[in-house]
Amino acid sequence: MKLARCLDIQGRTRWVHPTGSSNGLAYTGSDLFAGLRPSDEEIQVANWLAPIQPAVIYGVGLNYRAHALETGAEPPENPVLFMKPTTAVADPGQPILLPAACDHGPEVDYEAELAVIIGTTAHNVGIDRALDHVLGYTCANDISARRWQKHAGGGQWIRGKSFDTFCPLGPVLVTADEIRDPQVLAIGSALNGQVMQSSNTADMIFSVAELIAFISRDTTLLPGTVILTGTPEGVGFARKPPVFLADGDIIEVSIGGIGSLSNPVRDA
């Protein structure tokens, strides 16, 4: 199923199957993890929302071979993990805000990513059973303030990854039964219509199953956990000259089988 979360014109949060830019067919039930059932009730949408309110957000760095190469880094022996706060989540179409704290010049970058949504509790799961715990997938943009990430964050990435609106998600959640193999998906981004990233999840160093197995080792992943699985080559800071997001830009993430997530960029 393709599931989208929205506010209807009465201001109610609803789950729908999108049938147009401002309408959809309602799902009955209010609990994503207990199961939703399709109906023929047509909903008029006032605003599209991120398809998940995460329990926690894990990020993975340097997880595409070509991206590691463009940064001058060696492919890591183990997944490089960081976390983003749930307050960083942004809805489809919601402006990405360039923080006032980025006061040393342009530094805010885009990162197209496949987001994995955990559907059942995962703890010490093996690679062979890891995908059994996946509810579905969506598009993500791991927005990153590079100076804060690399130099101003005390040696930790989290500050540069954690500003408000730095985790757009959506527009839909595609259930795992429709994406049997998450390692064969085209993934890319476009800035103001110009393609910046164009790759495939086959270039991941650690597969989705390997990431779930690694992160769940002695660590419980609750339903609603979101894992951002890394970005391919073509990020702004690695370009010559560098390209950073600016007020008035539109950044779009596209993933095969899921769709496109578009957000404007605004000064905070």
Q: Which residues have C-beta within 8 Å of that of residue 58, sequence separation ≥ 6?
A: 81, 82, 83, 215, 225, 226, 227, 228
| Distance between start and end Cα atoms, the chain | 36
Helix (H, G, I), strand (E, B) or coil at 65: helix
Looking at the predicted structure, is the pLDDT value of residue 235 above 90?
yes
The pLDDT of residue 156 is: 85
Looking at the predicted structure, is the pLDDT value of residue 245 above 80?
yes
User: Residue range 143-163: average pLDDT?
Assistant: 91
The pLDDT of residue 21 is: 92
Looking at the predicted structure, is the pLDDT value of residue 3 above 90?
yes
φ/ψ region of 93 (left if φ > 0, alpha if ψ in -120 to 50, else beta) reads: left
On the CB side of 225, CA atoms within 13 Å amount to 22
The pLDDT of residue 155 is: 80
Run of H or E including 117: strand 112-118
Q: State the chain's mean pLDDT as an integer.
A: 96
Residues β-bridged to residue 23? 20, 44
Model confidence band, residue 1 (pLDDT cutoffs 50, 70, 90): confident
User: Residue range 175-204: average pLDDT?
Assistant: 98
CATH architecture of the domain with residue range 56-267 = Alpha-Beta Complex (3.90)
The pLDDT of residue 93 is: 98
Contact 262, 251 (CB under 8 A): yes
The pLDDT of residue 240 is: 95
Report percent pLDDT > 90 for the chain.
91
Model confidence band, residue 87 (pLDDT cutoffs 50, 70, 90): very high
User: Residue range 174-198: average pLDDT?
Assistant: 97
User: Residue range 94-99: average pLDDT?
Assistant: 98
Looking at the predicted structure, is the pLDDT value of residue 30 above 80?
no
The pLDDT of residue 35 is: 84
DSSP 8-state secondary structure symbol assigned to residue 223: T
Buried b or exposed e, range 172-185, using 16+ CB within 10 angstroms? bbbbbeebeebeeb
The pLDDT of residue 154 is: 80
Contact 227, 212 (CB under 8 A): yes
The pLDDT of residue 29 is: 81
Contact 247, 235 (CB under 8 A): no
The 10s digit of each residue's pLDDT in 13-24 is 999 999 999 999
Q: Which residue has the tokens 């943009």?
A: 141
Model confidence band, residue 153 (pLDDT cutoffs 50, 70, 90): confident
The pLDDT of residue 237 is: 96
